[in-house]
Structure 1
Amino acid sequence: MNITRYIANVDRDTPVLTTDFLIIGGGIAGLFTALKAASYGKVVVLVKKSIEESNTGLAQGGIAAAVHEEDSPFLHLEDTLEAGAGLCQIEAVDILVREGPERVRELISAGARFDMKNGSPSLTREGAHSKARILHAADATGEAIRIALVKKCEENPDISIIEEQFLVDILTSEKDAECYGALVYDRAHDLRLIYIARATIIATGGAGQLYKNTTNPEVATGDGMAASFRAACRLTDMEFIQFHPTVLYSQESRRFLISEAVRGEGGLLYNNRGERFMASYHPLEELAPRDVVSRAILSEMSKHGGDFVYLDMTGMPGAETRFPNIFRTCLEKGIDIRRDYVPVSPAAHYTMGGIATGASGETGIYGLYACGEAACTGVHGANRLASNSLLEGLVFGQRIVENFEEILYRRRISADDVFSVFDPARVYRSPQEKIEPGEARKRLQNIMWEQVGIIRHEAGLKMANQEVEGIYNQLARGDDPLAYYEVVNMLTTAHIIIQAALWRKESRGGHFRSDYPARDDIRWVKHLSFVNC
């Protein structure tokens, strides 16, 4: 697949704007980084659609941190490494668990309100955690955090949040491996803009929309990963996709998550014969890692038929008050969690891989950083420990801004610098424009779900690779530039996921090959990285 350097053109009539910090993405990673960066300069936060749309706002369970006296960063580290199946970068995990509690305290100071018990945060336990260490705000923790951070950012005169701004391409000098800023499509005014910045920070989130069934919002199309790949950043660990096992079954593409905390507090899984089954798959039963539970559910559906299994919350006193969002949403579907079992099945949830970064968010391109789900810091390894994602956004966003002296003493970039290095001959153009973006998106989502999902094998992966390349080579521009750009990014990201899944001939964490079902620590304790040369 011929992945080009750019997907849109730049000319000297393109308006140019400047700032100190350009942050692309409005989830927890982008907003927390913006608050920190505002102490050192002007900050522009670009949001793809509205500030309400992000994975942060959908996060139910909570944020993990060793804040209780019976817990410790070391125990949190051990649990994270165990979940990561041998591929976590221990230095990155150590940073996460040691610096995490202080970042959470700062989040509380910024206005985030968590549930309390006897004057201290009320902590719950989730799958693969050895201790109760999840701070939560009922079952809408992410939304509580998002609201607090948005309010704080809007009160700061040095932060501008601009909606309807889509990242098209990252602008760099390839000769000097230096980032100048970004080319952006302003959907509200139907024009392209250039933002020049001292530091460009990618916080665009994940790529769940590559799959037919996902918990992710419509905006999660892998844009930051794809744009960074075109700009010659390394993408690492892309084969590891986390599928959340308990998602409310429906015919909708974006499905409603039933929090891990439900099983952490006593929720039980039953197959359609009314039998509990998790004891047959893992000693931790319902609290097993997400990949184990997801495959167990698929196995039960295959053995006994049906498109879902059941989650029982009827034996949990007060579940309707502990999980009010889940209670309300299920009730709208005609399910009363106080007396009815909830039909659940897995869906794509989180991308463990992403833009390879160092401990301070650096990408290898001077002036370009990444944090949050778009980045691969090495924290998650092959399988993310539940509720570590929100914490990662805080910790590594902070560490980017700690480089403020290097960022602010960087030379000023001019518009002429940008125009002089842009090569219009390297803009993507489909050889045959036959498939409209909307149709391409649907076809891609079906391919990824069927062939590159929870269980994979070589024949299916090769078929998926051919089909994705065929769609890429026949993609029409259509009438909506945003839809076109999104699909190019989705196809690009999907191509890399498929290649990584083909190369890794073993099963580990979020990557399971039915033709190589065993974990192979002799050959495969290593990371796969891809660079667009």
Structure 2
Amino acid sequence: MRNQIEDIRNTPNVVIVGGGLAGLFCALKLAPRPVTVITAAPLGQGASSAWAQGGIAAAVAEGDSPEAHAADTIAAGAGLVDADVAHGLAREAPARIDDLLRYGVPFDRDLEGHLAVGREAAHSARRIVHVQGDRAGQAILAALTTAVRATPSIRVVEGYLAEELLTADGAVTGLRLRKAGDPIAKPVTIAARAIVLATGGIGHLYAVTTNPPEARGLGLAIAARAGAVIADPEFVQFHPTAIMVGRDPAPLATEALRGEGAVLINGNGERFMQAVHPLAELAPRDIVARGVFAEVAAGRGAFLDARDALGARFAEKFPTVHASCRAAGIDPAREPIPVAPAAHYHMGGIAVDARGRSSVQGLWAAGEVSCTGAHGANRLASNSLLEAVVYAARIAEDILGCEIPSPAHLAEQPVPRNCAFPALAAQNLRAMMTSHVGVVRDRERLAEAVRSFAAIERDTGNIALRNMAITALLVAAAAFARRESRGGHYRSDHPTESPLARRTMTTLVQAREIADRLAELKRTPQPITA
């Protein structure tokens, strides 16, 4: 059911922030326990889940196994995947696919009625379940949205952003919301002792991204401001094949195209990935992204060529990609598609345990805003939607087994001042993230980015920009501190992996300390040590 904002102060004691796959799946799994879902965009829109083309990885085909799926996940993660998490994720995958089927998701089937599976990069078997080739995200969100609207225990509040978590004695006590798109509107404060953040990723902090505008790192920022531990924020996955046709966000040419035989060529018509990695176009994403980046940086350009692999079958097999290309005047059945790397997925996020609990009492996180240890330094293709549903279900089970205190009466909260959103400042932040904290990084540019983002956080009068700057600062500071290259984090000044594989566990306080040290070094120049 949908309620007006005036009714939200009488919330049940479970609040979910985010209307993507993780948030909606968690709400459905909590039924019939009352829950409120708060989303800035209309339900089912504004979520990266809806843009996912590849599908969901699950060992459901004959000859495949959860053990093989987990092994591929661990191998792709460049030494930082939590093996127990990977095995748990793979074991639970078939059950979560069954859940989605019950909610009405029309996964593709073969002629015998079995789930049809495709292969993507770094998977040792065909195990990606799809919907109409490249429409998995849209179809899943549509089915779950219908199910949520039909569930009486779920209250949906649309058009509001969560701009701050309220806490006392290390536990959440509530949320401060503000009407989306109206920075000077009076904020609304609600009390809640159980909050699930499912706010998505950080892609729109970059100038070139495949993510929707809502993916600005909001959940990460408000959790960090509340004192939550943040894990592995430096690891950002850049999709190798964003379609470069001048759109923001950039349309995505799904990895499944390469799984079906499409190849990468440069402007001279030469395949270049064969010289980079034995798996060529099906190498791990970070390697392919850097291969594409190098061709673009060298001025040769990069193109995805599906003419021989798909030809006239392109429109039928990949209708979403075909439509994006045709809208830009490209016929992918007859000509190569111009591509470049784009910020696509954040492996880091709010550190959570096996039940989805953060370090702040009463705060859970699921989906891309969280960091479970499943992805390590480099996410295996199509594991993100799987992780979202597995942890959403675990969180629901955990909450259903908890004794949640009744919401306390919140004292009158001071109304924070907020100026109009400074679009130019946000544009400059995004440009610096792409140029300084992008596919290839180095110490001087990272140091400049850390100082810049800390200054924005300190000086801006706009809360939305402050939250963007906080998340950008967490990413840049952790990238500065990691003096090696691993997975999605590549430093040209430290191009090799350290012998010791270690995860990052950090806080906003620690990121600010790095910024303060770099600011002092700039005032009294000394050699930078990271």
TM-score w.r.t. structure 1 length?
A: 0.90
- Aligned counterpart for 2:255 among listed residues 260, 264, 267: 260
- 1:418-429 to 2 correspondences below 5 Å: 418-419=410-411
What is the rounded CA distance, in whole Å, between the counterparts of 1:17 and 1:359 in structure 2? Answer: 31
- Aligned counterpart for 1:506 among listed residues 480, 484, 487: 484
AA partner of residue 506 (structure 2) = S
1:130 partnered with 2:108? no
Equivalent residue for 2:220?
A: 225
1:483-509 deviations in Å (ceiling 9; x for gaps): x33211110000111110010000000
State the superposition RMSD in angstroms.
2.0
Deviation at 1:188, TM superposition (A): 8.1
Equivalent residue for 2:396?
A: 401
1:62 partnered with 2:55? yes
What is the rounded CA distance, in whole Å, between the counterparts of 1:331 and 1:531 in structure 2? Answer: 44
Deviation at 1:366, TM superposition (A): 2.0
- Aligned counterpart for 2:41 among listed residues 36, 44, 49: 49
What is the rounded CA distance, in whole Å, between the counterparts of 2:172 and 2:431 in structure 1? Answer: 35
- 1:87-102 to 2 correspondences below 5 Å: 87-102=80-95
Deviation at 1:21, TM superposition (A): 1.6
Deviation at 1:316, TM superposition (A): 2.5
- Aligned counterpart for 1:463 among listed residues 443, 448, 455: 448
AA partner of residue 481 (structure 2) = W
1:366-425 deviations in Å (ceiling 9; x for gaps): 211000000001111001001000000100011111123443x2221222xx328x6x59
1:273-301 deviations in Å (ceiling 9; x for gaps): 11001011100000001110010111122
What is the rounded CA distance, in whole Å, between the counterparts of 2:192 and 2:117 in structure 1? Answer: 40
Q: Decide whether the 8 Å contact of 2:30 with 2:400 is kept in 1.
A: no
AA partner of residue 135 (structure 1) = V
AA partner of residue 46 (structure 1) = I
1:25-72 deviations in Å (ceiling 9; x for gaps): 011100000000113x11111111222211011000101001112100
- Aligned counterpart for 2:12 among listed residues 19, 22, 27: 19
What is the rounded CA distance, in whole Å, between the counterparts of 2:241 and 2:42 in structure 1? Answer: 27
Deviation at 1:183, TM superposition (A): 1.2
What is the rounded CA distance, in whole Å, between the counterparts of 1:47 and 1:38 in structure 2? Answer: 18
- Aligned counterpart for 1:28 among listed residues 3, 10, 21: 21
- Aligned counterpart for 1:269 among listed residues 230, 252, 264: 264
Distance 1:15 1:94, change over 3 A: closer
- Aligned counterpart for 1:80 among listed residues 69, 73, 95: 73
- 1:83-482 to 2 correspondences below 5 Å: 83-117=76-110, 118-137=112-131, 138-173=133-168, 175=169, 177-187=170-180, 190-303=185-298, 305-306=299-300, 308-317=301-310, 318-407=313-402, 409-415=403-409, 418-419=410-411, 437-476=422-461
Distance 1:188 1:495, change over 3 A: closer
What is the rounded CA distance, in whole Å, between the counterparts of 2:257 and 2:106 in structure 1? Answer: 20
What is the rounded CA distance, in whole Å, between the counterparts of 1:160 and 1:45 in structure 2? Answer: 6
Q: Decide whether the 8 Å contact of 2:230 with 2:351 is kept in 1.
A: yes
TM-score w.r.t. structure 2 length?
A: 0.90
Deviation at 1:238, TM superposition (A): 0.3
- Aligned counterpart for 1:520 among listed residues 498, 504, 515: 498
3-state DSSP class of the match of 1:402?
A: helix
Deviation at 1:253, TM superposition (A): 2.7
AA partner of residue 425 (structure 2) = A
AA partner of residue 530 (structure 1) = T
What is the rounded CA distance, in whole Å, between the counterparts of 1:152 and 1:356 in structure 2? Answer: 29
Q: Decide whether the 8 Å contact of 2:229 with 2:505 is kept in 1.
A: no
Distance 1:274 1:532, change over 3 A: same
3-state DSSP class of the match of 1:266?
A: coil
Deviation at 1:165, TM superposition (A): 1.1
What is the rounded CA distance, in whole Å, between the counterparts of 1:163 and 1:410 in structure 2? Answer: 25
Deviation at 1:462, TM superposition (A): 0.8
What is the rounded CA distance, in whole Å, between the counterparts of 1:343 and 1:180 in structure 2? Answer: 49
Instruction: Answer with 232-241 or 89-98: which moved more.
Output: 89-98
3-state DSSP class of the match of 1:245?
A: strand
What is the rounded CA distance, in whole Å, between the counterparts of 1:245 and 1:181 in structure 2? Answer: 40
